[in-house]
Chain A
């Protein structure tokens, strides 16, 4: 069986060496489908060998997608018929812009996401093919991959993050989605991305947001470091919001996560509040301290109020104390 992984491509792609990847894929899918039950068996056998490793995932997902088409063609087709990308639908909306992230995520067609991403996106049957429609499909694919449980999603998203040909906002969203996907390797990968100074700030912002979805001690420590070391207001803002997400009391409670996670995030936020540059990110700090709402922060902020601060800083600390008090009462 191990040989199948090699045999099928060689068999099917003979004579088509010069074809585009999408065309190759379509031809392969067509031929396997035409083979009927034998094709199905072949693909299933090939899928059984899929490791979804960094080196094999691209090949692996081809067969996932083909198999999905073979078994659930109507469901697969729905990925090519997204209502949110149709002008007759999105033009009725109050913001008449195409958008399909939730729709695609909830279709449950993870293999087809890879098909689109790797092979067929350029042939998506857009109504107008406008830049907005194409961007909406990209956003939807990335978000849906992040929300999928597919074992190759991590690699696909990381590839997107690393792909300099992609727009920065999409690479940033891919980094965020890595965290949402939340596989084990996400934490290390995102940590590397956050520290990679060659990456554009927007992409690193996405990585910090992604870390905010991981919710481990290490990820919270990393975000805290980013917050306290960041040189730009925007990065501090992103880190603050990410801490709020990472230390979400509701999520941590539901996961039975250790109390230390929330304490750690709360301490980092109060430390950020203590620093003079806090006034530059005041609203984010006030809101996120209220989100994390750890009771111990109350005493620490009260102590801050006793220290010598500028008027603006003092006002900010008072606001934070007020909001935290009210959040704790809620």
Chain B
């Protein structure tokens, strides 16, 4: 701003001036543009030294004094546009008044001069246009810079917030003339707007739900060729069975009803009005892995959905005439999820070679099939799968089942697996891992429950058919990567960590898949190696919760990591986390027995009333057994250390319960199994825990192992219920967790927003 010279206006009017005082009023600055912040300064000549004068101002010259009489000879005022004559009145010690005024004219603020350039101003749909307002100017040339906002579709609603003048992008999909508007403002509030013209000619436009709002709209034309955390359409592997024919829906080339359609992601081929019917239109899918794992359906013109793209070919032809007539909706299903051979990404390109001028146009969208996500134990429990066995020959589990029925929270559905159908095969955990796929739709998130079928082969009669023949159905699908040639493939050997940040700072928002296996040999030093099969491991590695982390379990009889630890919810958050890890500890059990011995309770019975009952003293007299506990503890500690290092855990995150182990012999090999019902092998149902009853020795009428377990778990804010697993599960080499499956709620986080 340019400051003007002093303007001294006078003076003493004819009103009540004192005899010898001369008052002068000036304004600083004396000129400028509205709104003008100025200072009025009065000065007086002829007053006696030390005279006490008081001043009051009529700031805008409207004849009314705006300030009270005060000793300060100054006042501040913001002038709007126009001429002003402010006054000052000086009151001397006698009460006489002396006045002066000054004239000032404030110039008006000139609105900015908006300029809107669009490029290209014309083109075929979808037309990506850059709108540029950077050439807009301020007539006063003042700082700070101008700001602009855009209304792309001239509907009177601005589509962007105020921002410094510059460029913005928008994709126009609707054929016709458009008049985008820019509004520019300067810092004084001066506003001006201008419009430009954009003409969208009919053209090739392939749309998908790129912004994942469940709808396909013009907004989806932005960044449509890239799948990232902010853009890209999602589809599902169509592994459920909507028509109940026992076959996964992706395996046939028909659409099985509206439910099947809902499992598919939509693609929209926009109407291309002036596309000659003689044009050649092709829809291509890349890369090759995607081309082999995608099927696309479309209407046949008679209202039926038929296969328009068969997996494998890589491309298909579309009818130019139909494209000219109207929009075409296509439906995409995946034949596979993420695998080691395919990360699930697909680029679908629509290409048209016009029949008139031979011009070639294309449009591409990026999509990705959903991974299978396996929720961890800390997620809300929805369904508990368990078998009730009452038939004697099948080995009844009545006490266990009764305990489950009694203590399962009401919000959890109990799914009772039929004992006859599966001939008493009670190892539900071994045969499946519950997970889900999810994609956004216009009615919300569409979740397909997706199991990993982890077969425990029994011949023809066991639970290996539970998933495929019974659970498989509408919105319940499954993946199966191969047979159960090793018990390390079973579901009990697959645990999910809760979400965490690892030692390197990497976030695992869906946790990480842990599997058991290794080459560490047996506890007694026999060379031995066993792992989950490479096919299943590779499948798990490929998921968003991968790569898997292998923890030593090869030394265990069944070979599952749930034989030694489990993740639990932790409502208390005493350690600052929502979870803790519960480990079995053989040395904790030995210590507890020695305490009983020291208390003179060596004859206390362990496993009272059971066929295998023994005493505290008998256990402690078995040197081989005791030294074995120390070796097992060391192996468990190795697992614990590895898990702590990976998850950046501290000892505060780990809890221990007493569990003894024993060696079982097979052809000279020694494998460990829980000698005591494995307490840590429990069932997590929200804040309720169904815990294997250890049936330990008592002190003062209390089972010491139950007491120790309660002392560890109850401070977490969970409820502990002991359930009888001894004959029906424990002696058959499993516990409560092994004999159940729990479906937990999906994570709140969207997988597509994560790296």
Closest 3 CB pairs of A and B: A169-B668, A241-B525, A248-B627
| Bound Cα distance from A102 to B630, whole angstroms | 20
Instruction: Give chain B residues whose Cβ lies under 8 Å from the Cβ of A97.
Output: 666
CB <8 Å contact, A237 and B638: no
CB <8 Å contact, B631 and A323: no
CB-based nearest A residue for B664: A99
A207 CB within 8 Å of chain B: no
Contact of A283 among B424, B430, B638 (CB under 8 A): B638
**Interface 9-mer from B159-167, B508-516, B731-739:** B731-739
A123 CB within 8 Å of chain B: no
B19 CB within 8 Å of chain A: no
Instruction: Give chain B residues whose Cβ lies under 8 Å from the Cβ of A167.
Output: 667-668
CB <8 Å contact, B732 and A93: yes
CB <8 Å contact, A170 and B668: yes
CB <8 Å contact, B623 and A95: no
| Bound Cα distance from A250 to B521, whole angstroms | 23
CB <8 Å contact, B738 and A172: no
Instruction: Give chain A residues whose Cβ lies under 8 Å from the Cβ of B424.
Output: 92
CB <8 Å contact, A106 and B629: no
Given contacts A169-B668, A241-B525, A250-B629, contact A290 B637 (CB under 8 A): yes
Q: Mark B453-492, 1 if CB is under 8 A from A, else 0.
A: 0001010000000000000000000000000000100100
A313 CB within 8 Å of chain B: no
CB <8 Å contact, A245 and B487: no
| Bound Cα distance from A167 to B665, whole angstroms | 14
| Bound Cα distance from A234 to B558, whole angstroms | 23
CB <8 Å contact, B638 and A139: no
CB <8 Å contact, B668 and A139: yes
Instruction: Give chain B residues whose Cβ lies under 8 Å from the Cβ of A143.
Output: 665
CB <8 Å contact, A241 and B631: yes
| Bound Cα distance from A5 to B527, whole angstroms | 47
CB <8 Å contact, B525 and A95: no
Instruction: Give chain A residues whose Cβ lies under 8 Å from the Cβ of B521.
Output: 237, 284
Nearest-neighbour CB distance to chain A for B692, whole angstroms, equals 15
Given contacts A94-B733, A101-B665, A284-B521, contact A291 B623 (CB under 8 A): no
| Bound Cα distance from A180 to B627, whole angstroms | 11
A residues with CB within 8 A of B: 88, 91-97, 99, 101-102, 106, 135-136, 139-140, 143, 147, 167-170, 172-173, 176, 180, 182, 202, 205, 209, 212-213, 215, 234, 237-242, 244-246, 248-251, 254-255, 283-284, 286-288, 290-291, 322-323, 326-327, 330
CB-based nearest B residue for A249: B630
B409 CB within 8 Å of chain A: no
Q: A239-B525, A323-B641 are in contact. List 16 more A-B contacts (CB 8 A).
A: A94-B490, A94-B558, A95-B733, A106-B614, A169-B669, A209-B524, A238-B524, A240-B525, A245-B524, A245-B627, A248-B623, A248-B630, A251-B626, A254-B623, A284-B520, A287-B631
Q: Mark B582-600, 1 if CB is under 8 A from A, else 0.
A: 0000010010000000000
CB-based nearest A residue for B729: A94
B276 CB within 8 Å of chain A: no
| Bound Cα distance from A288 to B525, whole angstroms | 11
Given contacts A248-B630, A327-B637, contact A172 B662 (CB under 8 A): no
CB <8 Å contact, B612 and A323: no
CB-based nearest A residue for B623: A251
B7 CB within 8 Å of chain A: no
Given contacts A99-B666, A287-B638, A323-B637, contact A238 B525 (CB under 8 A): yes
| Bound Cα distance from A248 to B624, whole angstroms | 9
Residues of B643-666 contacting chain A, CB below 8 A: 662, 664-666
List 13 contacting pairs A-B, 8 Å CB cutoff, sorted by A.
A88-B393, A94-B430, A106-B614, A169-B667, A173-B665, A176-B524, A213-B623, A242-B525, A244-B627, A248-B626, A249-B630, A287-B631, A290-B637
CB <8 Å contact, A205 and B557: no
CB <8 Å contact, B623 and A244: no
CB <8 Å contact, B525 and A284: yes
CB <8 Å contact, B627 and A135: no
Given contacts A94-B733, A139-B665, A284-B521, contact A250 B558 (CB under 8 A): no
Instruction: Give chain A residues whose Cβ lies under 8 Å from the Cβ of B458.
Output: 91, 96
Instruction: Give chain B residues whose Cβ lies under 8 Å from the Cβ of A173.
Output: 665, 668
CB <8 Å contact, B638 and A286: yes
Instruction: Give chain B residues whose Cβ lies under 8 Å from the Cβ of A182.
Output: 623
Nearest-neighbour CB distance to chain A for B725, whole angstroms, equals 13
| Bound Cα distance from A234 to B526, whole angstroms | 8
CB <8 Å contact, B733 and A283: no
CB <8 Å contact, A291 and B395: no
| Bound Cα distance from A43 to B609, whole angstroms | 36
Nearest-neighbour CB distance to chain A for B334, whole angstroms, equals 34
| Bound Cα distance from A215 to B635, whole angstroms | 22
CB <8 Å contact, A135 and B667: yes
Instruction: Give chain A residues whose Cβ lies under 8 Å from the Cβ of B268.
Output: none
Instruction: Give chain A residues whose Cβ lies under 8 Å from the Cβ of B227.
Output: none
B634 CB within 8 Å of chain A: yes
Q: Mark B271-286, 1 if CB is under 8 A from A, else 0.
A: 0000000000000000
**Residue among B456, B590, B635, B664 facing the most chain A CB atoms (10 A cut-off):** B664
| Bound Cα distance from A288 to B630, whole angstroms | 9
Instruction: Give chain A residues whose Cβ lies under 8 Å from the Cβ of B587.
Output: 250, 330
CB <8 Å contact, A234 and B527: yes
**Residue among A143, A205, A242, A245 facing the most chain B CB atoms (10 A cut-off):** A245
Residues of B554-569 contacting chain A, CB below 8 A: 557-558
Given contacts A102-B612, A254-B626, contact A287 B527 (CB under 8 A): no
Residues of B375-404 contacting chain A, CB below 8 A: 393, 395
CB-based nearest B residue for A244: B631
Nearest-neighbour CB distance to chain A for B226, whole angstroms, equals 41
Instruction: Give chain B residues whose Cβ lies under 8 Å from the Cβ of A239.
Output: 525
Nearest-neighbour CB distance to chain A for B587, whole angstroms, equals 7
Residues of B273-314 contacting chain A, CB below 8 A: none
Instruction: Give chain A residues whose Cβ lies under 8 Å from the Cβ of B487.
Output: 94-95
Instruction: Give chain A residues whose Cβ lies under 8 Å from the Cβ of B614.
Output: 106
| Bound Cα distance from A92 to B395, whole angstroms | 8
Instruction: Give chain B residues whose Cβ lies under 8 Å from the Cβ of A102.
Output: 612, 662, 664
CB-based nearest B residue for A100: B665
| Bound Cα distance from A157 to B732, whole angstroms | 30
CB <8 Å contact, B623 and A283: no
B374 CB within 8 Å of chain A: no
Nearest-neighbour CB distance to chain A for B214, whole angstroms, equals 44
CB <8 Å contact, A251 and B733: no
CB <8 Å contact, B524 and A288: no
CB <8 Å contact, B520 and A283: yes
CB <8 Å contact, B629 and A287: no
CB <8 Å contact, A95 and B627: no
Given contacts A244-B634, A249-B630, A291-B631, contact A205 B525 (CB under 8 A): yes
Nearest-neighbour CB distance to chain A for B457, whole angstroms, equals 10
CB <8 Å contact, B427 and A139: no
**Residue among A202, A239, A241, A330 facing the most chain B CB atoms (10 A cut-off):** A241
Instruction: Give chain A residues whose Cβ lies under 8 Å from the Cβ of B196.
Output: none
CB <8 Å contact, B620 and A254: yes
Nearest-neighbour CB distance to chain B for A229, whole angstroms, equals 17
CB <8 Å contact, B627 and A251: yes
**Residue among A106, A182, A290, A322 facing the most chain B CB atoms (10 A cut-off):** A290
B90 CB within 8 Å of chain A: no
Nearest-neighbour CB distance to chain B for A326, whole angstroms, equals 7
B267 CB within 8 Å of chain A: no
CB <8 Å contact, B523 and A241: yes
CB <8 Å contact, A250 and B627: yes
| Bound Cα distance from A283 to B626, whole angstroms | 21
CB <8 Å contact, A287 and B620: no
CB <8 Å contact, A180 and B624: yes
Q: Mark B340-371, 1 if CB is under 8 A from A, else 0.
A: 00000000000000000000000000000000
| Bound Cα distance from A245 to B734, whole angstroms | 27
CB <8 Å contact, B627 and A92: no
Instruction: Give chain B residues whose Cβ lies under 8 Å from the Cβ of A215.
Output: 623
| Bound Cα distance from A198 to B733, whole angstroms | 39
Instruction: Give chain B residues whose Cβ lies under 8 Å from the Cβ of A135.
Output: 666-667
Nearest-neighbour CB distance to chain A for B688, whole angstroms, equals 25
Instruction: Give chain B residues whose Cβ lies under 8 Å from the Cβ of A96.
Output: 458
